[in-house]
Amino acid sequence: MRVDDLLNWITQGCLLLIATLTLVDLVRHRDRARIDIALMFGALAAIVLIQGLTTVMRQQAPWLGQFGTILLLAQPYLLLRLVQHFRTVSRLVQVVVIGGMVVSWAILTAFPTPLPKLLALLIVVYFVYVEGYAAAAFARGAMRTEGVTHHRLLLAAIGSSLLAMVILLAGLNIALPAGTGITAPLSRLLALLCILSYYLGFVPPGWLRHAWQLAELQRFLQAMAGRPVDQRVTATLNQLCLTGTRSTGALAAAIALGDKTGQQLTICAAIGPPMLAGSLTPSDGAIGRAWHACQPTVARTPADFGVDATPLTAAIGAGALLVVPIATAERAWGLLVVFLNRGPLFAADDLNLLALLTEQSAIALDNAALLEEQQTLVRRLHQRTAQLEATNKELEAFSYSVSHDLRAPLRSIDGFSLALLEDYGDRLDAHGQDYLQRVRAATQRMAQLIDDLLGLARVTRSELRHEHVDLSTLTATIVGEFQRAYPDRQVEVVIAPGLVAHADTRLLHVVLENLLGNAWKFTVKCPCARIEVGAVPCDGQVAYFVRDNGAGFDMAYADKLFGAFQRLHAMTEFSGTGIGLATVQRIIHRHGGRVWAEAAVEQGATFYFTVS
């Protein structure tokens, strides 16, 4: 098989493939542009099939030949119909194309083959003119657009240019038959390249479309990057309008954002004439469909625009609309409305690209809303922090007042009561001395309450300093202090070895001192007092515990256990102010942990705590 025969077979096979793909695309998505594309390539494929049938039959039926001739002569007109989808074709060009088709048919009908050279060249000139005009129109359309449409129109322009060159070489063969040996293989090669260009332009594979879309999306994201935070929303909307206009070759584009009710859309960004302002009601037409179904849509006739969009399109001079929702899965922000001169040739690709851009824009709007909410929360936090600082200063002033102003009268009461007992005790009877002892005891208890309250306030305000804490050693130290303070007590203390935590050492000392102090206190009536300190696993954490076999308590009152001044035993049974466990709870909460207790009356109690 010769090379030019191989090229011919490949070209015909590619042409049949393109015709099949365009027909399948038409069946899946029927619109005028797809009909015109399928007609053009279907006619070319039919010519190829007629040639193959003639070769197999070794003769040609007259009617079949005439039908093939009609299809061939219709090619310029079918190509012109594709051009009309994105630009206006002048009346003169339409007359020339239709007139040329009629004249060519008359020539082929009136004169037998081979045609006279002059008439054959006249038909060649006609075909070259139409193909050249289409190539120039496709090229101008590509220059006015970006993205997928730009690449597809550019490839269509290349395909039409190559086809014009093929026809031109055919005319050269007619004029100079001696050069056929050189021009024939070149014509085959150019025809193959033409069909490949048409294939990539009119029915490109999915991976190529995605590559074009991603490249345009990357340019869009790069244009938005680096914008100041306070300008990001405005910049995103303006860039979306600009990219939507350029990528489709549109007359204008506008973005309408919805209100809280979703019943009104207000135009807040636009590229195009100044009349692109106001509001839209998404009640009918393409505007309503895109908003309520949250799906991109195309409107090719004014009747499908919608009530509010019709005056705008008339003022702009638009003949078609692309409407794409700006939405994420969580929220619909608004619509991108692109105003076109005519219905797009590659509407599906335009809508897919615009959907990618609007999705990224919606994400940017979501992020901006979150950022604004975060800034609002930060402002509130600063206000609360300022209020807290003011409150802390007031507490410090109050603590100073308590420490100095309240302690002085208490010291005076206690001191003068003691002076009365020492200097005038012999003049008082037993009741008088008892009264003075009660006054001294009450002042001393009040002083102890003040000290405990100040300690609780210091625990709340002090800064945490996390470090490695050896709880076993710390517990042993505190127990030693109790044993020295109460040498007459015989208490068995069991401390688990290797207890460690990451916390504030000073504050954990306060926790263990209070818990061990309670255990020491509430086992005072036990003949065999026992205190145990250890740890157990609890919900993926380590829970430390202090257990005793003392008085215990009724679990029905456990909710009052950690409240300030809450006591479950009478003062006559066990001493204390009721502040210790409240202090423990505040310290543990500051460490991000929790504290709880389990007990039974006269069976002891176990206090657990965790630290993060």
Distance CA 375, CA 417 (A): 61
Check if the beta carbon of residue 167 is closer than 8 Å to that of residue 127. Answer: yes
Choose between 527 and 8: higher pLDDT: 527
Instruction: Quote the pLDDT of residue 155.
Output: 92
No. of helices (H) and no. of strands (E), the chain: 17, 13
Helix (H, G, I), strand (E, B) or coil at 591: coil
Instruction: Quote the pLDDT of residue 471.
Output: 92
Q: Could you give the count of Cα atoms lying within 13 Å of 341 in the half-sphere of its Cβ?
A: 14
Which structure tokens are listed for 344?
A: 């797009």
Distance CA 295, CA 323 (A): 9
DSSP bridge pairs for 265: 258, 280
* Class of domain 220-374 as given by CATH: alpha beta
Instruction: Quote the pLDDT of residue 456.
Output: 60
Q: Is the pLDDT of residue 350 over 90?
A: no
- Find the angle CA(314)-CA(237)-CA(344) to the nearest 5 degrees: 45
Instruction: Quote the pLDDT of residue 473.
Output: 93
Least confident of 101-115, 223-237, 246-260, 392-406: 392-406
Q: Which residues contact 71 (CB under 8 A, 6 or more apart)?
A: 43, 44, 46, 47, 50
The backbone torsions φ and ψ at residue 607, rounded to the nearest 5 degrees and listed phi first, read -110, 125
Average pLDDT of span 112-140: 88
Check if the beta carbon of residue 247 is closer than 8 Å to that of residue 216. Answer: yes
Average pLDDT of span 588-595: 89
Q: Is the pLDDT of residue 504 over 60?
A: yes
Average pLDDT of span 283-292: 87
Choose between 176 and 543: higher pLDDT: 543
Assign 3-class secondary structure to 330-391: CCEEEEEEEEECCCCCCHHHHHHHHHHHHHHHHHHHHHHHHHHHHHHHHHHHHHHHHHHHHH
CA distances from 154 to 141, 142, 168, 244, 512 (A): 8, 5, 21, 19, 81
Instruction: Quote the pLDDT of residue 199.
Output: 87
Q: Is the pLDDT of residue 482 over 70?
A: yes
Instruction: Quote the pLDDT of residue 567.
Output: 57
Check if the beta carbon of residue 366 is closer than 8 Å to that of residue 331. Answer: yes
Average pLDDT of span 143-158: 87
Instruction: Quote the pLDDT of residue 607.
Output: 92
Q: Is 467 left (phi over 0), alpha (psi -120 to 50) or beta?
A: beta
73-82 confidence digits (pLDDT tens): 888 888 888 8
Q: Which CATH superfamily is domain 464-609 in?
A: Histidine kinase-like ATPase, C-terminal domain (3.30.565.10)
Choose between 295 and 181: higher pLDDT: 295
Q: Is the pLDDT of residue 28 over 60?
A: yes
Q: Is the pLDDT of residue 218 over 90?
A: no
Distance CA 564, CA 449 (A): 11
Q: Please, which pLDDT band fits residue 542 given cuts at 50, 70 and 90?
A: very high
In 3D, which of 203, 116, 223 has the Cα closest to residue 159? 203
Distance CA 570, CA 346 (A): 88
Classify residue 114 by burial, with Cβ atoms within 10 Å: 0-12, 13-18, 19+. exposed
Q: Is the pLDDT of residue 589 over 80?
A: yes
Instruction: Quote the pLDDT of residue 3.
Output: 64
Check if the beta carbon of residue 39 is closer than 8 Å to that of residue 78. Answer: yes
507-535 confidence digits (pLDDT tens): 888 889 889 988 888 888 888 889 999 99
Instruction: Quote the pLDDT of residue 344.
Output: 80
Distance CA 421, CA 440 (A): 10
Instruction: Quote the pLDDT of residue 547.
Output: 93
Residue-level length of the chain: 612
Average pLDDT of span 425-432: 81
Average pLDDT of span 477-502: 90
Which pairs with CB-CB distance under 8 Å and at least 24 residues apart come from 276-280? 276/252, 276/312, 276/316, 278/308, 279/308, 280/256, 280/306, 280/308, 280/309, 280/335, 280/337
Q: Which residues contact 556 (CB under 8 A, 6 or more apart)?
A: none
Classify residue 580 by burial, with Cβ atoms within 10 Å: 0-12, 13-18, 19+. buried
Round the average pLDDT of the chain to a whole number and report it. Answer: 83
Classify residue 87 by burial, with Cβ atoms within 10 Å: 0-12, 13-18, 19+. middle
In 3D, which of 243, 192, 199 has the Cα closest to residue 220? 243
Range among 297-301, 392-396, 457-461 with highest mean pLDDT value: 297-301
385-405 confidence digits (pLDDT tens): 888 878 767 766 766 666 666
Instruction: Quote the pLDDT of residue 477.
Output: 92
- Find the angle CA(236)-CA(237)-CA(243) to the nearest 5 degrees: 85
Q: Please, which pLDDT band fits residue 133 given cuts at 50, 70 and 90?
A: very high
Choose between 163 and 228: higher pLDDT: 163
* Strand blocks (E) in 22-133: none
Q: Is the pLDDT of residue 545 over 90?
A: yes
Q: Is the pLDDT of residue 432 over 60?
A: yes
Q: Is the pLDDT of residue 575 over 80?
A: no
Which structure tokens are listed for 466?
A: 């996390």
Give the CA-trace dihedral at 481, 484, 486, 492, to 10 degrees: 70
Could you give the residue ranges of the DSSP H alpha helices within 402-499? 407-424, 430-461, 471-485
Instruction: Quote the pLDDT of residue 189.
Output: 86
Q: Is the pLDDT of residue 474 over 90?
A: yes
